[in-house]
Amino acid sequence: MDRTEVFAQLQRLPEQLREAELAYYGALGRLEDAKLALHAKECELFNLGIIKGKNEQIRDAEVWQHTHELKRMVIKAKLEVDQTKSEYHYLKNKQDNVQLIAQLLLQLQ
């Protein structure tokens, strides 16, 4: 990596970090929306008297029949949050490393 590449990366990385951060917060928002939809559906099922199980296991099974797709959406949203968070941290580490390389290059002059 030569000096030109280092300084070009230093100029690009802040924007890439900003995009990664926006993606992360967007994913967090989608996760919260999915959790809210799941909770609303569960409340609806109980309020309508559809869930009548006498113990927790039976109630969970009854709820599952009506909410498994929403639960899958929550899991997918959690994965997206984790992926975007990982991408942000990767770019942040890359920026730190490139800054260190730039400092070393400047000291060698």
Number of domains the chain contains: 1
Closest to 52 (Cα-Cα) out of 44, 64, 63: 63
What pLDDT is recorded for position 29? 99
20-62: per-residue pLDDT in tens?
A: 999 999 999 999 999 999 999 999 999 999 999 999 999 999 9
Judge whether residue 109 has pLDDT over 90: no
1-12: per-residue pLDDT in tens?
A: 788 999 999 999
Q: Domain residues for 59?
A: 3-108
| DSSP states along 16-69 | HHHHHHHHHHHHHHHHHHHHHHHHHHHHHHHHTT----SSHHHHHHHHHHHHHH
How far is 61 from 68, CA to CA, in rounded Å?
Answer: 10
Return the percentage of the chain with pLDDT > 70, whole number: 100
